[in-house]
Amino acid sequence: MKIILLSVFAFILGSIPTGQIIAKSRGIDLKKTGSGNIGATNVLRSAGKWPAVFTLAGDILKGAIAVLAGRFFEAGTLFEGIIGLSSILGHNLSIFLKFKGGKGVATSIGVLCIYSPQTALFTIIIWLMTVLVTKYSSLGALVSFGILPLSIILFDTKAKLPVAFLMTSILFVRHMDNISRLIKGTERKVGMKA
């Protein structure tokens, strides 16, 4: 029962559409602007740098708080991860946006920051390097999370592999449209205006 309640809490927390709230405060409807996504990348294109920074911070916090709640209530390693995954799913399928939402990259980073800090740092570095070279935020996410299971093996315990595989799978499913656009050469680069 404890795990179920924590997972429900994490899903509701993850559902808070940080980017949509911040953009609306500036008179912008993210669902009708740019890529239509509620994440920091679209906020950057649509509303500017500082709204994007606050969106990124808010989305990271959602994942981090979810795992911290699991740890506080001694859910155990596996269930901490599952509670973190619930916050990612909440972000992706927000109850406040009729079960639509973002891609879950920042919230996934927030989960990793608490669940596996060294892996989180490595994932962020790989993401940044990929984006700096290619200018594609989506490609950075796909590369850095594509190797997440390997990163867990390198920097943490294999007990966390099931959560890593699920996190990678969720992220790839949410990026199917991006993958298609990357293949076609029509994906928007970081910094392109909406």
Q: What domain range is 128 assigned to?
A: 2-184
- Chain position carrying tokens 């709640």: 69
Asked whether residue 192 is domain-assigned, the answer is no
Asked whether residue 193 is domain-assigned, the answer is no
Res 173: pLDDT: 97
Asked whether residue 151 is domain-assigned, the answer is yes
The yes-or-no verdict on residue 45 having pLDDT over 90 is no
188: left (phi over 0), alpha (psi -120 to 50) or beta: beta
Q: List, for residues 67-108, the tens digit of each pLDDT value.
A: 999 999 999 999 999 999 999 999 999 999 999 999 999 999
Percentage of residues in the chain with pLDDT exceeding 70?
98
Asked whether residue 190 is domain-assigned, the answer is no
The yes-or-no verdict on residue 191 having pLDDT over 80 is no
- The model carries a pTM of 0.93
Res 193: pLDDT: 61
Asked whether residue 50 is domain-assigned, the answer is yes
Asked whether residue 79 is domain-assigned, the answer is yes
Q: List, for residues 11-36, the tens digit of each pLDDT value.
A: 999 999 999 999 999 888 887 787 77
* 155 burial type by CB count under 10 A (0-12 exposed, 13-18 middle, 19+ buried): middle
Q: What are the residues whose beta carbons fall under 8 Å from the beta carbon of 157, sequence distance 6 or more?
A: 77
Q: How many domains does the chain have?
A: 1
